[in-house]
C-alpha cells in the first residue's frame, strides 16, 4: 500500500506502508546507527518522535525480544529505505515487519532516507505525518503539523510504580529515577552488584531519600527538558544532599536546569552510535551512543556550580558536567549503549567508586 | 598530542613486487602516507623494488630507491641517508618483516633510528603465533585451540588430540601462503611439510577448525594517547574456511545484531589497546553462527588489503591518518578530509551497502584448481556501492570483467537439484551461481545453508535476484517491474536477454518513465554533516546528489578495473598521472573506476570520483550527468579501450588517438595495409574464425604458428601451436567465449624481442628508449626480463626501429602513447604488435629516463607538440644507467597452475634492478624478485631435445660456479658427452632416488626445465615444475632466463655492496 511522509515544510515523500496501518503526526528525527534498530525502537527517549534510520537496509536480523530496551516500542513511526523481508540471526524471535504490527507502530519504507536526512540537516528537526490517505490535503495537514509538540512525554514513558532490581544483594543501594529509562541502565548497575530501586519520574525527593540510597542515578528520557518543571524541582533537592549522583541524557539536562544552567534545542540533534566525546579530565576520546535533541548551554555555566567534563569533538557542544564541590557528574551521551559502542561503560564503575 | 618535533626524515618501506596476497593496495597506502608525511614538512626517503608504483615517483617522495627489498639494502640506505625514523607499517607483510629484522639485529638502535607506527614488541605480539596466543589469553580474548609446531610429528599429535579437521597456518607468510585445512593425517602431513618450509621462522600453527563460522573483520585505529576507533566492520559472505581475500565481503555486517556487533567491536578495541598499536590494524574474528561464542583469527598490526577496502568503503583515509598518528598526532587533532569539519576520532556511518568480489586468475590458469581455501588466490578485487545488497552484488559482478553480468551467466541449468547440492560442496568462485541455480530449481534455503554455511540472509538476497529473473522472463515488462529490476541493478543488457526485447527498447522505456540512475555521496557520516570532498555511487530511486558543474574544460578518465594478470597497477599509474596532467592544465577531472586497492580511487586524486562498474551503461549514466568535453581511454588498459566505441556513440569525443585508428591497429586487414604502405615487414599470417580455417592458414605458413584472439591484453588465449591437433585445442579454448573479433594465426619467428613506448603528437614522435627482452620471442613480453637500453642490437637496428616507430605512429595518426613490439632476426626488424595506448613498461621507462611520459602524452593529447612541451623529438639519448625489469610470479599460490612461460602472460608483478653496469642491474633484479642464490649449490637440469645444445653451455657455466648438476637420463648424457659433470637421476616413475626425491629433499637451489610441447598436465615435467615451485625451489623454464641468471651469479662476488641509485635525481 502506498504511504506518504509529509513534512512541516510541505515536502512530501512517497513510499510504501510497513507495520501498523495508522496515521501519525510526530517529530521527525534521524539516527545514523547501522545496527541496533530494535534498541532504537524501544528506547523511551524516542517517545513523541518518528525515527528515520539512515542505514538503508533495516530488519536484516529481525528482532530479538531480549534486546528490547523497554517493554514496548516508543517511536511513533519508523522511516526506512528498505525493509528486509526475512531477518536472519540465531536469536531472532520475529521479523521486524511483524514486530511493528504487533505493537501497532506504523512505518514507511521506500523512502530516500538520505535525502530526508539532508532536509533535516539543512532545515533542522521538523514535524511530519505518515499517512496512507491518498487524498491527503496539505492545506489541512500543514497547520496540524506546525501545531504538534511532543509535550509532556516523560509522564508516558516513566514507570507506573516503584520497583526493585536486585544485584548481588550485597552491593550498593542505588536509586534510579526513571524519566523514560533504558533497561540497560539498571542492568549496568545490577551487573556491578548494585541493588537498584526504580522510581517513577514524579516521585518526591523526600521519598527517594527516605529509602537511604548510597547513590542516585537519573536516567535518560524523552522530550524538552524545560517541560519537566516539577521534576527539576525535586532534582534540585537531591542536589542539595551529599549523596553521589550520576545522570544520563535527560537526567543530565534536568540536573543542569535544577542548578541554574540553561538548555537549548539543537538544529538536528545527535542520534547514532559514532559520536566522539572527549573526557576533559584525561584528554581521552571515546566513541559514544547518543540520542538527544537538546543540549546544555556551556556559555551559561557557573563554574562555581558545574564545569564541562566532556565535550563533543565534532561540534564542541557539551557532553557532560562535573559539579563543583559535589559528588555529582552527568553525561549527555549513553554509557549504557544498547545500541552502540560500550566504550564509556567505565563511567558506571566511576559512579560506584564514588559510592564507597 | 601534537607532532613529534624530532621526526624530520623518514624512510618508508614499500611492499615490493605485486604478488597474490600483496597487491596494489600497498601502493595506495604508501602513496597516501607519503603525501601525508610531506604535507607535514617531513623529508621522505622511499624504498620499493616495484617500478610500476605511484609511490616511487619523484613527486611522492624526496628520494626514491627502486632497490631490492633486503635487509642489507635497507641497511645501506639507512647508512647513506641517515633517516631518524623508519615507517614499516605501510609496506604490507614484506615491509613489516624487514622493519622487524632491522630492529631485532640492533641495527636501528645502533644508528639511532626509531621504528615509527609500531614497535618490534607489538609486531611480535601480533605476528608470533605463541606470543599472540598468550597475549589474547591474558586479556581474555578467545582463540581457537591451537599449538605452534616446528615439525610434522608434533602437528600430527596435536591434531589427534583436538580432532580433525584442523587448520594449518604458517607464521610470517603472505596471504596465508602454505596454509590449508587438513581433514586427516595424510593431508596434514602434506600441508604441514610445505608450510614449515615456507614460514620465515619454520613455524606452523595447528588450530581447531572453525570452518563454517561467520567471518567478521574490524578495521581499528589507535593513537599514541590510547584513543581507539573502528573504521568499519565487514562480514564475509563465505564463512570461515575461505581466505577473506577470496571471499565475497560486505560492509557493514548485515546479519549481526547490535549485541554481537558491539561484542566484537569491544574485543577489537581491547586487542589493539593491549598490543599498543599506534596506527591502523585489522582484526579478524570467527563468530559462531548459533551462539555468542567467538574466536580471534588473526590481527594484522599494519595497513592491509582489508584496510584499503575499508578506506574506500567508508571514505576514511586509513593510511593517511596512520601516517599522522606515526608522527605523534592524536585522532582528535586530525581533520576528516571528506567532511572538512569533523575529526578522525569518529566512526564512519555508512548509508549504503558495499560489496567486494575477488578477481581470481582461473581464466589465466585453466589447469589450476578453482577451489578456494585459506590460501589466497585472488590477484585483485572490485568493490561496488549501492543502497541495497542485491544492487551492490549485481554491480560488483559486472565490474569483474569476466563476461558475467548476472547470476545465470555461468550456466548450471543442466544439473538437477541433487547434483546442484553436490556441486555446492565444492567451494569455488562459481558457488553463488550454483546456489542461484539451486534456488531456481526450488531447493530450500536450509538445504543450501547446511552445505555452504552461508547465512540465510545472503541466500534470501540471491533468491530475490532469481525471483526478479523469473518475473522478467514470465511477466510482461511494465514500468513498475522495470523500476524494481533497476533497483536491483539489473543491467539493460540482461533485462533485454530475459524479456526478449532489445537493449534500445529497454533504455527507451526507462527514459520515458524517468527510470534513470541517480548518484549518491560517500561522505563518511550518512549525510549528518555537509561533505567537502565526497565521491559518488549510483543507485536507482531517489534524489540525485552529483552536482552538475560547468567548467570550461572537463575530462573523463576511465580507469582500468580490477588488478589481474596482464593488467596490473601500471595502468593505474598511467590513469593517475594523466589525471594530474589534465588537472594541471586547468581541466576539471572525473575518474571512473571500481578497484578499491588503487590510488586512482582515492578521493582526492581527481576532482570527482565515481566508484562504478566500467561498462557502457554505467559510464553512460555518468556521462549524462557530467557531460564531459572528452574522454581519455588510452591510459586505462584494455578495460578503458573497450569503452571507446560506446563513448563515441554517447557523443563523447575521444581525446588523443581516435577510435578508428585504435581499430586499425587491431584489425588485421587494415593493419596489414598500413604496414604495406609503410614498407614495414611483419611475420606472415591470416585471420580466422573456425578451427578448420585456422588449420588451413597454419599449414600454409608452416608450423610453429602463433594463435591468438584480437583485442586482448596480456596475451590472453595466445598459444604457440606445432600441430593441427594443437591448433584445434587452442581454437576450442579461445572460442569458449564468443568472439566479437577474428582470431589471428601468425608464423612464429624466433628472434630477439624488442619493445618501444613512444609519444606521438601527430607529426613528431619521442622515443624515451629501446627495451630488449632477455627471453626470445614466444615468451609474453610481460613475463620477459626487459633490459633498457637494449644491449645486443646495433645502431643500424636501432635506427630502423626508431624509423618504423615514427612511420607507424604517423600512419595510425597516434596522438599520445603507442607501444610497439618488434622481432629482430639478424638485422631484419619485424613488427609483431602495435598498441596505440599506454603499456606495462611506461612507468618503468619514465622512471629510468626521467621523462614523464604519461604527462607528456597528456600534453600532446591536449594539443601541445612535443617540442612545445620542452622535448626534442626522436629517439632519446641512452641513459647512463641500465634498468632491468624482472617479472615476478605467484605460482606457489595457485595449485595446479602450469608455470612454464609462453605467449600467455602469467606474472603478477615486477621489480626493477638499476645500476650503471648491466651485471649489477641484473643481479639487483634477480635479488628483488626473491632469487637468492646460491644456497646449496645443487641444481637439476632437464630439457627437451631441441634445447640440449644450449643446456650444455649453461651447465658448463653453473659447473664453474661450483654447482653440482643433476639431470635426467638424456640431458645427463648430453652434458656428460660435452664434458660437463652431471649426475643422472631417475625420472619420476622410476625407482628412487628420483628427481622428485631430490626436490623434496630441500637441497636444490634451482631447476631448469624446458617443457615439451603440449598442455598435458600429467606429464613428468609439469609435476617437476609444480613440486619445485610448491617447495620453494627456483624453477626456470626458459634457457634465456637461465643464462641470465648464470651471468648474474658470475658477477655476484664482486658486488657484495650494491651501489644505490636515487631515481628521483635522474
Banded model confidence at residue B1030, pLDDT cuts 50, 70, 90? confident
Q: How many Cα atoms within 13 Å fall on the side-chain side of residue A193?
A: 9
Mean pLDDT, to the nearest integer, of B1046-1055?
A: 79
Binary contact (A272, B528; C-beta < 8 A): yes
Rounded average pLDDT over B550-579: 94
The yes-or-no verdict on residue B573 having pLDDT over 80 is: yes
Instruction: Nearest by CB to B257, from A30, A82, A89: name it.
Output: A89
Does B46 score more than 50 pLDDT? Answer: yes
- Residue pair B921/B883 in contact (Cβ under 8 Å)? The answer is yes
Q: Which of A234, A249, A252, A270 is catalytic?
A: A249
Residues B568 and B364: their CA atoms lie apart, in Å, by 14
A334 as an active site residue: the answer is: yes
Using 50, 70 and 90 to split pLDDT, how confident is the model at B932?
A: confident
Closest chain A residue to B523, measured at CA: A114
**CA nearest to B231 within chain A:** A274
Rg (CA), chain A: 20
Give the three cell numbers for residue B256.
Answer: 549481526
Q: Which of B254, B387, B541 sits opposite A60 (nearest CB)?
A: B254
Mean pLDDT confidence for A24-31: 97
Q: What is the pLDDT of residue B547?
A: 84
- Per-residue pLDDT band for B1054 (boundaries 50, 70, 90) equals low
Q: Do B341 and A113 make contact, defined as CB atoms within 8 angstroms? A: no
CB-based contacts of A244: which residues, under 8 Å, 6+ apart? Answer: A214, A215, A216, A327, A328, A351, A354, A355
Q: Is B526 on the interface with A (CB under 8 A)?
A: yes
Do residues B401 and B641 lie in contact, with contact meaning Cβ atoms separated by under 8 Å? no
Kindly indicate the confidence band of residue B1020, based on its pLDDT and cuts at 50, 70 and 90. confident
Q: What is the pLDDT, as a whole number, of residue B339?
A: 82
Structure confidence at residue B447 (pLDDT): 97
- State the average pLDDT over residues B754-761: 96
Query: Is 70 exceeded by the pLDDT of residue B695?
Result: yes
Q: Does residue B334 surpass a pLDDT of 70?
A: yes
Instruction: Tell the burial category of B208 from Cβ atoms under 10 Å away from its Cβ (0-12, 13-18, 19+).
Output: middle
Instruction: Delineate the domains of chain A, giving CATH numbers in brackets.
Output: 2-150 (3.50.30.20), 154-355 (3.40.50.880)
pLDDT of residue B600: 95
Domain B891-1055 is found in CATH 3.40.50.1380: yes
Q: Which residues pair with B234 in a beta bridge?
A: B217
Asked if A338 is an active-site residue, the reply is no
Q: Do B542 and A287 touch (CB under 8 A)?
A: no
Taking residue B213's Cβ as centre, other Cβ atoms within 10 Å add up to: 22
Pairwise pLDDT comparison (B673 vs B903), residue with the higher score: B673
CB contact (8 A) between residue A55 and residue B350: yes
**B2, B351, B521, B537: which to substitute to probe chain A, counting the most A Cβ within 10 Å?**
B351
Mean pLDDT of B282-291: 96
Which has the closest alpha carbon to B545: B351, B395, B390?
B351
Side-chain half-sphere exposure of B12, counting CA atoms within 13 A: 33
> Residue B167: what pLDDT?
86
Question: Cβ contact (<8 Å) for B525 and A64?
Answer: no
Pairing of strands B964-967, B982-984: parallel
Q: Please tell me if residue A280 touches chain B, with a CB cutoff of 8 Å.
A: no
Cβ–Cβ below 8 Å for B528 and A54: yes
Chain B CA closest to residue A81: B387
> Which residues have a Cβ under 8 Å from the Cβ of B616 and sit 6 or more positions away?
B643, B646
Question: Tens of pLDDT along A39-91?
Answer: 999 999 999 999 999 999 999 999 999 999 999 999 999 999 999 999 999 99
Least confident of A305-314, B809-818, B1052-1061: B1052-1061
Which contiguous run of DSSP H or E holds residue B492? helix B492-499
C-alpha cell of residue B694: 585456422
What's residue B407's pLDDT? Answer: 96
* Distance between A14 CA and the closest CA of chain B, angstroms: 10
**B253 and chain A in contact, CB less than 8 A:** yes
pLDDT band for B336, please (50, 70, 90 cuts). confident
Q: Is B270 on the interface with A (CB under 8 A)?
A: no
3-state secondary structure of A309: strand
Stretch 98-137 of chain A: residues touching chain B, C-beta under 8 Å = 110, 112-115, 117-118, 121
Average pLDDT over residues B750-778: 93
User: Does residue B1014 have a pLDDT over 90?
Assistant: no
Structural contact between residues B565 and B909, judged by C-beta atoms closer than 8 angstroms: no
Looking at the complex, report in whole angstroms how far the Cα of residue B342 sits from the nearest Cα belonging to chain A: 5
Phi, psi of B61 (to 5 degrees): -125, 160
Q: Tens digits of per-residue pLDDT, B249-280? A: 999 999 999 999 999 999 999 999 999 999 99
pLDDT given for residue B661 in this prediction? 85
pLDDT score at B1013: 57
Average pLDDT over residues B118-140: 88
B656-680+750-875: CATH topology is D-amino Acid Aminotransferase; Chain A, domain 1 (3.30.470)
Residues of chain B contacting A81 with CB distance shorter than 8 Å: 387
Does B266 contact A at CB distance below 8 Å? yes
Residue B1002: the pLDDT is 67
Phi-psi group of B420: left, alpha or beta (phi > 0 → left; psi -120 to 50 → alpha; rest → beta): alpha
Are B876 and B853 in contact by the 8 Å Cβ rule? The answer is: no
Strand order across the beta sheet in which B1034-1036 lies:
B982-984, B964-967, B938-942, B1006-1009, B1034-1036
Residue A356, pLDDT score: 84
The three-state (H, E, C) secondary structure of B97-122, written as one string:
HHHHHHHHCCHHHHCCCEECCCCHHH
- Chain A nearest C-alpha distance from B265 (Å): 8
Of the candidates A55, A89, A339, which has its C-beta nearest B255's C-beta?
A: A89
Tens of pLDDT, residue by residue over B416-425, are 999 999 999 9
CATH architecture of residue range(s) B356-515: Orthogonal Bundle (1.10)
Give the helix/strand (H/E) hosting B588: strand B588-593
Nearest CA in chain B to A40: B258
Query: B139-169 pLDDT, tens per residue?
Result: 999 988 888 899 999 999 999 998 888 989 8
pLDDT for A187 beyond 90: yes
Q: A215 exposed, middle or buried (CB, 10 Å; 0-12, 13-18, 19+)?
A: buried
At residue A160 the predicted structure's pLDDT band, cuts being 50, 70 and 90, is: very high
Chain A, 307 to 336: residues with Cβ < 8 Å from chain B are 313-314
For chain A, the straight-line distance linking the first and the last C-alpha, in angstroms and rounded, comes to 58
Give B902-951 as a 3 state SS string. CCCCCCCEEEEEEECCHHHHHHHHHHHCCCCCCCCCEEEEECCHHHHHHH
User: Taking 60 as the threshold, does the pLDDT of residue A119 lie above it?
Assistant: yes
What is the rounded average pLDDT of the residues B900-913? 90
State the Cα–Cα distance between residues B534 and B806, nearest whole angstrom: 43
Q: For residue A250, what pLDDT is reported?
A: 97
The pTM score is: 0.94
Architecture of domain B534-655: 3-Layer(aba) Sandwich (3.40)
The class that CATH gives domain B145-209 is alpha beta
Chain A closest CA to B336's CA: distance in Å? 10
Band the pLDDT of B717: cuts 50, 70, 90: low
| Domain locations in chain B as residue ranges | 9-116, 125-143+211-348, 145-209, 356-515, 534-655, 656-680+750-875, 684-709+722-748, 891-1055
Is residue A267's pLDDT more than 80?
yes
Residue B174 pLDDT greater than 60, yes or no: no
Helix (H, G, I), strand (E, B) or coil at A210: helix
| Contact assessment for residue A328 and residue A354, using Cβ atoms and an 8 Å cutoff | no
* Whether the predicted pLDDT of B211 surpasses 80: yes
Question: Could you identify the residue written with the cell 613440486?
Answer: B1027
Question: In whole angstroms, what separates CA B108 from the centre of its chain?
Answer: 32
- pLDDT, residue B714, reads 47
Q: How far is A12 from chain B (nearest CA, A)?
A: 13
- Chain B residues within 8 A of A57 when measuring between CB atoms: 254, 353, 387-389
Instruction: Identify whether the C-beta of residue B53 lies closer than 8 Å to the C-beta of residue B41.
Output: no
Exposure string for B1011-1030, b = 16+ CB within 10 A, e = fewer: bbeebeeeebbbbbbbbbbb
Mean pLDDT, residues B763-771: 96
- Per-residue confidence band for A221, with pLDDT thresholds at 50, 70 and 90: very high
Asked if residue A125 has pLDDT above 80, the reply is yes
Check if B9-116 and B656-680+750-875 are the same fold: no
The domain B9-116 is placed in CATH, from the list 3.40.50.20, 3.30.70.360, 3.30.70.920, 3.40.50.2300, at: 3.40.50.20
Q: What is the pLDDT of residues B439-484, one digit of tens each?
A: 999 999 999 999 999 999 999 999 999 999 999 999 999 999 999 9
pLDDT band at B173; cut points 50, 70, 90: low
Cβ neighbours, 10 Å, residue B992: 8
Nearest to B349, CA basis, from B447, B421, B251: B251
Nearest chain B CA: its distance from A93 CA (Å): 12
Cα–Cα nearest to B169, from B159, B177, B179: B179
3-state class (DSSP) for residue A311:
strand
Number of Cβ within a 10 Å radius of residue B690 = 11
- Please name which of B536, A283, B346, B307 lies closest in space to residue B337, comparing C-alpha atoms: B346
**Average pLDDT rounded to a whole number, residues A92-111:** 98
Average pLDDT, chain B: 91
B1055 confidence band (pLDDT: 50, 70, 90): low
Domain B125-143+211-348 in this protein, CATH class: alpha beta
Amino acid at each position: 500500500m502506498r504511504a506518504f511522509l509529509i513534512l512541516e515544510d510541505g515536502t512530501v515523500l512517497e513510499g510504501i506502508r510497513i507495520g501498523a496501518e495508522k496515521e501519525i503526526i510526530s517529530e521527525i528525527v534521524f539516527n545514523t546507527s547501522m545496527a541496533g534498530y530494535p534498541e532504537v525502537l524501544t528506547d523511551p527517549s524516542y517517545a513523541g518522535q518518528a525515527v528515520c534510520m539512515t542505514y538503508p537496509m533495516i530488519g536484516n536480523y529481525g528482532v530479538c525480544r531480549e534486546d528490547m530496551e523497554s517493554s514496548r516500542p516508543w517511536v511513533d513511526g519508523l522511516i526506512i529505505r528498505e525493509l528486509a523481508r526475512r531477518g536472519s540471526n540465531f536469536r531472532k524471535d520475529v521479523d521486524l515487519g511483524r514486530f511493528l504490527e504487533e505493537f501497532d507502530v506504523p512505518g514507511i519504507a521506500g523512502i530516500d532516507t538520505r535525502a530526508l536526512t539532508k532536509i533535516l540537516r539543512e532545515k533542522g528537526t521538523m514535524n511530519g505525518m505518515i499517512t496512507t490517505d491518498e487524498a491527503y490535503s496539505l492545506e489541512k495537514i500543514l497547520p496540524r503539523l506546525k501545531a504538534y509538540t511532543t509535550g509532556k512525554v516523560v509522564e508516558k514513558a516513566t514507570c507506573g510504580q516503584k520497583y526493585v532490581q536486585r544485584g548481588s544483594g550485597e552491593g550498593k543501594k542505588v536509586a534510579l529515577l526513571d524519566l523514560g529509562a533504558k533497561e540497560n541502565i539498571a542492568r549496568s548497575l545490577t551487573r556491578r552488584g548494585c541493588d537498584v530501586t526504580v522510581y517513577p519520574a514524579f516521585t518526591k525527593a523526600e521519598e527517594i531519600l527516605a529509602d537511604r540510597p548510597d547513590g542516585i542515578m537519573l536516567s535518560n528520557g524523552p522530550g524538552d527538558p524545560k517541560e519537566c518543571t516539577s521534576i527539576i524541582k525535586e532534582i534540585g533537592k537531591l542536589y542539595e544532599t551529599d549523596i553521589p549522583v550520576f545522570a544520563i541524557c535527560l537526567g543530565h539536562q534536568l540536573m543542569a536546569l535544577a542548578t541554574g544552567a540553561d538548555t537549548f534545542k539543537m538544529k538536528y540533534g545527535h542520534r547514532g552510535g559514532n559520536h566522539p566525546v572527549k573526557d576533559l579530565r584525561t584528554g581521552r576520546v571515546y566513541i559514544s551512543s547518543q540520542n538527544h535533541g537538546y543540549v546544555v548551554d556551556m556559555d551559561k555555566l557557573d563554574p562555581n556550580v558545574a564545569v564541562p567534563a566532556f565535550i563533543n569533538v565534532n561540534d564542541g557542544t557539551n557532553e557532560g558536567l562535573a559539579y563543583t564541590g559535589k559528588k555529582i557528574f552527568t553525561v549527555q551521551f549513553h554509557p549504557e549503549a544498547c545500541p552502540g559502542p560500550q566504550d564509556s561503560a567505565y563511567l558506571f564503575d566511576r559512579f560506584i567508586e564514588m559510592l564507597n | 598530542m601534537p607532532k613529534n618535533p624530532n621526526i624530520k626524515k623518514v624512510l618508508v618501506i614499500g611492499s615490493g613486487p605485486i604478488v597474490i596476497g600483496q597487491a596494489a593496495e600497498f601502493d595506495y597506502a604508501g602513496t597516501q602516507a607519503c603525501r601525508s608525511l610531506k604535507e607535514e614538512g617531513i623529508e621522505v626517503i622511499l624504498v620499493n623494488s616495484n617500478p610500476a608504483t605511484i609511490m616511487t615517483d619523484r613527486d611522492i617522495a624526496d628520494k626514491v630507491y627502486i632497490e631490492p627489498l633486503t635487509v642489507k639494502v635497507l641497511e645501506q640506505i639507512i647508512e647513506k641517508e641517515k633517516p631518524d625514523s623508519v615507517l614499516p607499517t605501510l609496506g604490507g607483510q614484506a615491509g613489516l618483516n624487514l622493519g622487524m629484522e632491522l630492529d631485532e639485529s640492533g641495527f636501528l638502535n645502533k644508528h639511532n633510528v626509531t621504528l615509527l607506527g609500531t614497535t618490534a614488541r607489538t609486531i611480535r605480539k601480533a605476528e608470533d603465533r605463541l606470543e599472540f596466543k598468550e597475549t589474547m589469553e591474558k586479556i581474555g580474548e578467545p582463540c581457537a585451540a591451537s599449538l605452534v609446531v616446528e615439525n610434522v610429528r608434533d602437528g600430527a599429535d596435536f591434531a589427534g588430540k583436538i580432532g580433525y579437521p584442523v587448520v594449518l597456518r604458517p607464521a610470517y607468510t603472505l596471504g596465508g601462503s602454505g596454509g590449508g585445512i587438513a581433514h586427516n593425517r595424510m593431508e596434514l602431513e602434506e600441508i604441514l611439510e610445505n608450510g614449515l618450509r615456507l614460514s620465515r621462522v619454520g613455524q606452523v600453527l595447528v588450530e581447531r577448525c572453525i570452518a563454517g563460522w561467520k567471518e567478521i573483520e574490524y578495521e581499528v585505529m589507535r593513537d599514541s594517547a590510547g584513543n581507539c576507533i573502528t573504521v568499519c566492520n565487514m562480514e564475509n559472505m563465505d564463512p570461515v574456511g575461505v581466505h577473506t581475500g577470496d571471499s565475497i565481503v560486505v560492509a557493514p555486517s548485515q546479519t549481526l545484531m547490535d549485541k554481537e556487533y558491539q561484542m566484537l567491536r569491544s574485543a577489537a578495541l581491547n586487542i589493539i589497546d593491549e598490543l599498543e598499536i599506534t596506527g591502523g590494524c585489522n582484526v579478524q574474528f570467527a563468530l559462531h553462527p548459533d551462539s555468542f561464542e567467538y574466536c580471534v583469527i588473526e590481527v594484522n598490526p599494519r595497513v592491509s588489503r582489508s584496510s584499503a577496502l575499508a578506506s574506500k568503503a567508508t571514505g576514511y583515509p586509513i593510511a593517511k591518518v596512520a601516517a599522522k598518528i606515526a608522527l605523534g598526532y592524536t585522532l582528535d587533532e586530525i581533520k576528516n578530509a571528506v567532511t572538512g569539519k569533523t575529526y578522525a576520532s569518529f566512526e564512519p556511518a555508512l548509508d549504503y551497502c558495499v560489496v567486494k568480489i575477488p578477481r581470481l586468475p582461473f581464466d589465466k590458469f585453466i589447469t589450476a584448481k578453482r577451489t578456494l581455501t585459506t590460501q589466497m588466490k585472488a590477484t585483485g578485487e572490485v568493490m561496488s556501492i549501492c543502497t541495497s545488497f542485491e544492487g551492490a552484488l549485481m554491480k560488483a559482478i559486472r565490474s569483474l570483467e569476466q563476461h558475467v553480468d548476472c547470476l545465470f551467466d555461468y550456466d548450471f541449468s543442466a544439473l538437477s537439484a541433487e547434483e546442484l547440492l553436490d556441486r555446492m560442496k565444492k567451494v569455488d568462485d562459481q558457488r553463488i551461481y550454483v546456489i542461484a541455480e539451486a534456488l531456481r530449481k526450488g531447493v530450500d534455503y536450509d538445504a543450501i545453508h547446511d552445505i555452504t554455511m552461508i547465512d540465510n540472509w545472503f541466500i534470501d538476497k540471491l533468491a530475490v535476484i532469481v525471483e526478479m529473473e523469473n518475473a522478467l522472463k514470465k511477466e510482461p515488462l511494465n514500468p513498475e517491474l522495470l523500476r524494481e529490476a533497476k533497483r536491483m541493478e539489473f543491467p539493460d543488457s540482461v533485462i533485454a536477454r530475459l524479456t526478449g526485447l532489445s537493449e534500445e527498447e529497454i533504455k527507451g522505456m526507462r527514459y520515458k518513465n524517468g527510470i534513470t540512475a541517480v548518484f549518491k555521496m560517500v561522505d563518511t557520516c550518512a549525510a549528518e554533516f555537509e561533505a567537502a570532498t565526497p565521491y559518488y555511487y549510483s543507485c536507482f530511486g531517489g534524489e540525485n546528489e552529483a552536482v552538475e558543474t560547468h567548467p570550461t574544460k572537463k575530462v573523463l578518465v576511465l580507469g582500468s578495473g580490477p588488478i589481474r594478470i596482464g593488467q596490473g597497477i601500471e595502468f593505474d599509474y598511467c590513469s593517475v598521472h594523466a589525471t594530474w596532467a589534465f588537472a594541471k592544465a586547468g581541466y576539471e577531472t572525473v575518474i571512473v573506476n571500481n578497484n578499491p586497492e588503487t590510488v586512482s580511487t582515492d578521493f582526492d586524486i581527481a576532482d570527482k570520483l565515481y566508484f562504478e562498474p566500467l561498462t557502457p551503461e554505467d559510464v553512460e549514466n555518468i556521462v549524462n550527468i557530467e557531460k564531459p568535453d572528452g574522454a581519455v581511454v588510452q591510459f586505462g588498459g584494455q578495460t578503458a579501450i573497450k569503452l571507446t566505441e560506446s563513448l563515441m556513440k554517447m557523443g563523447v569525443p575521444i581525446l588523443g588517438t581516435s577510435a578508428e585508428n585504435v581499430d586499425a591497429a587491431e584489425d588485421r586487414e587494415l593493419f596489414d595495409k598500413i604496414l604495406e604502405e609503410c614498407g614495414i615487414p611483419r611475420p606472415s599470417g591470416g585471420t580466422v574464425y573456425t578451427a578448420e580455417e585456422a588449420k588451413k592458414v597454419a599449414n600454409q605458413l608452416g608450423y610453429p604458428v602463433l594463435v591468438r584472439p584480437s583485442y586482448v591484453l596480456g596475451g590472453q588465449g595466445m598459444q604457440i601451436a606445432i600441430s593441427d591437433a594443437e591448433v584445434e585445442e587452442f581454437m576450442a579454448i579461445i572460442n569458449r567465449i564468443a568472439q566479437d573479433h577474428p582470431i589471428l594465426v601468425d608464423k612464429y619467428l624466433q628472434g630477439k624481442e624488442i619493445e618501444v613506448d613512444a609519444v606521438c603528437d601527430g607529426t613528431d614522435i619521442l622515443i624515451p628508449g629501446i627495451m630488449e627482452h632477455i627471453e626470445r620471442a614466444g615468451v609474453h613480453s610481460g613475463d620477459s626480463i626487459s633490459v633498457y637500453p637494449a644491449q645486443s642490437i646495433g645502431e643500424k637496428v636501432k635506427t630502423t626501429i626508431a624509423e618504423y616507430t615514427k612511420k607507424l605512429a604517423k600512419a595510425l595518426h597516434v596522438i599520445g602513447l603507442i607501444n610497439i613490439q618488434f622481432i629482430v632476426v639478424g638485422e631484419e626488424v619485424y613488427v609483431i604488435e602495435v598498441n596505440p595506448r599506454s603499456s606495462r613498461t611506461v612507468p618503468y621507462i619514465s622512471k629510468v629516463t626521467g621523462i614523464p611520459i604519461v604527462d607528456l602524452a597528456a600534453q600532446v593529447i591536449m594539443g601541445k607538440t612535443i617540442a612545445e612541451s620542452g622535448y626534442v623529438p626522436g629517439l632519446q639519448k641512452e641513459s647512463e644507467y641500465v634498468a632491468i625489469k624482472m617479472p615476478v610470479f605467484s605460482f606457489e599460490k595457485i595449485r595446479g597452475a602450469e608455470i612454464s612461460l609462453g605467449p600467455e602472460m602469467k606474472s603478477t608483478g615486477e621489480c626493477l634492478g638499476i645500476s650503471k653496469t648491466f651485471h649489477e642491474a641484473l643481479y639487483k633484479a634477480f635479488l628483488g624478485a626473491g632469487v637468492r642464490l646460491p644456497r646449496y649449490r645443487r641444481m637439476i637440469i632437464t630439457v627437451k631435445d631441441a634445447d640440449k645444445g644450449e643446456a650444455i653451455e649453461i651447465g658448463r657455466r653453473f659447473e664453474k660456479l661450483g654447482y653440482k648438476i643433476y639431470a635426467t637420463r638424456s640431458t645427463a648424457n648430453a652434458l656428460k658427452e660435452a664434458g660437463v659433470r652431471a649426475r643422472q637421476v631417475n625420472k619420476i616413475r622410476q625407482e628412487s632416488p628420483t628427481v622428485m626425491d631430490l626436490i623434496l629433499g630441500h637441497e636444490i637451489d634451482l631447476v631448469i626445465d624446458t617443457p615439451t610441447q603440449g598442455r598435458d598436465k600429467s606429464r613428468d615435467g609439469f609435476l617437476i615444475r609444480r613440486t619445485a615451485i610448491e617447495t620453494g625451489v627456483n624453477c626456470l623454464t626458459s634457457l634465456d632466463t637461465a643464462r641470465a641468471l648464470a651471468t648474474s651469479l658470475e658477477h655476484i662476488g664482486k658486488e657484495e655492496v650494491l651501489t644505490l641509485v636515487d631515481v628521483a635525481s635522474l
